[in-house]
């Protein structure tokens, strides 16, 4: 059986609606609505076994998925949801060995996801103009153990990208139309540009800029995810959920 080591990420299961994901940092205490756990006590515990909080509530210890780890991090900006992250990854063709440039690091969720998939030989270069966002994103990259695959820059992407002949460029900015020409210059032939924006006026302005910059194979999509109540006797759509998140715009340098 696998055992928990210091520095591992684990998910603690109490019920279908109550789980917690935490990094096992010895010397720290993790609080839940069911009491707290001294993280030292998780070291050496077998995955699948129970651990008790200080008030005697039992939680099952399991390994954490990448998405669970990602969404347990500090969020200080709006983030891209898994349904959109998955489409961006598949459509852009990003994979092991890819070189990707991103503008608008923010919380770092997109950069971290890209880094997770370009490993072990790829690299993600991410630009963030705000110093506070840049420093907080670095903390998140370190917490995930992905800093080796990410080059973060506290720099305004509107001044241009340092990288050339990259496989993909990702833009998560309020005004992506202002730098699509710089994205075109940075891309290799056949490279993909992916843009994420929340409103239709942003889509219109971005599409116009993409056409001016000679991007081809343009596409605009909105990914809708409908969750169902996972009870055989009550199977129906969930009453509450995330609906609109944003629009994904794609273009290629041909």
The per-residue pLDDT for range 236-251, each reduced to its tens digit, is 999 888 889 999 999 9
Q: What is the pLDDT of residue 199?
A: 97
51 strand-pairing partners: 59
Residue 30 has pLDDT above 90, yes or no: yes
> For the residues 51-57, what does the mean pLDDT come to?
96
Number of CB atoms found within 10 A of residue 146's CB: 21
Half-sphere exposure of 242 (CA within 13 A, CB side): 12
Q: Provide the pLDDT confidence category of residue 56 given band limits of 50, 70 and 90.
A: very high
Please determine whether the domains at 9-64 and 70-252 fall in the same fold group of CATH: no
CATH of segment(s) 70-252? 3.40.50.150
Residue 78 has pLDDT above 90, yes or no: no
Q: What is the pLDDT of residue 74?
A: 86
Tell me the fold of 9-64.
Vcp-like ATPase; Chain A, domain 2 (3.10.330)
Q: Provide the pLDDT confidence category of residue 1 given band limits of 50, 70 and 90.
A: confident
Residues 248, 79, 176: CA angle, nearest 5 degrees? 45
Number of CB atoms found within 10 A of residue 140's CB: 22
Q: Could you tell me if 188 and 253 are in contact, meaning their C-beta atoms sit under 8 angstroms apart?
A: yes
Q: What is the pLDDT of residue 243?
A: 84
Q: Provide the pLDDT confidence category of residue 76 given band limits of 50, 70 and 90.
A: confident
Closest CA to 223 of 245, 203, 199: 245
Residue 134 has pLDDT above 90, yes or no: yes
**Average pLDDT across the chain, whole number:** 96
Alpha-carbon distance of 173 to 47, in angstroms, equals 40
Alpha-carbon distance of 56 to 163, in angstroms, equals 54
Q: What is the pLDDT of residue 141?
A: 97
Q: Provide the pLDDT confidence category of residue 169 given band limits of 50, 70 and 90.
A: very high
> For the residues 178-203, what does the mean pLDDT come to?
98
Q: Could you tell me if 37 and 30 are in contact, meaning their C-beta atoms sit under 8 angstroms apart?
A: yes
Share of residues in the chain with pLDDT > 70 (%): 100
Q: What is the pLDDT of residue 11?
A: 98
Q: Where are the domains of the chain?
A: 9-64, 70-252
């Amino acid at each position: 059986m696998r055992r928990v080591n210091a520095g591992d990420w684990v998910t603690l299961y109490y019920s279908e609606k109550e789980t917690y994901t935490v990094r096992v940092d010895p010397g720290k205490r993790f609080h839940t609505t069911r009491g707290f756990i001294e993280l030292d006590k998780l070291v050496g515990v077998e995955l699948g076994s129970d651990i008790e909080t200080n008030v005697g509530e039992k939680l099952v210890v399991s390994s954490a998925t990448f998405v669970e780890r990602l969404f347990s991090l500090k969020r200080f900006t709006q983030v891209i949801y898994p349904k959109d992250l998955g489409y961006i990854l598949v459509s852009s063709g990003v994979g092991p060995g890819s070189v990707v440039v991103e503008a608008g690091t923010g919380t770092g969720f997109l950069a971290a996801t890209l880094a997770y998939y370009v490993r072990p030989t790829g690299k993600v270069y991410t630009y963030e103009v705000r110093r506070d966002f840049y420093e907080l994103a670095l903390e998140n990259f370190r917490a995930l153990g992905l800093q080796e695959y990410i080059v973060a820059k506290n720099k305004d992407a509107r001044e241009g990208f340092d990288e050339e002949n990259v496989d993909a460029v990702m833009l998560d900015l309020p005004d992506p139309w202002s730098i699509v020409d710089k994205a075109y210059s940075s891309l290799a032939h056949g490279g993909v540009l992916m843009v994420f924006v929340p409103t239709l006026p942003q889509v219109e302005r971005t599409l116009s800029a993409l056409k001016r910059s000679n991007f081809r194979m343009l596409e605009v999509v909105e990914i809708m995810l409908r969750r169902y109540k996972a009870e055989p006797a009550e199977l129906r759509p969930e009453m509450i959920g995330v609906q609109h998140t944003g629009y994904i715009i794609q273009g290629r340098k041909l």
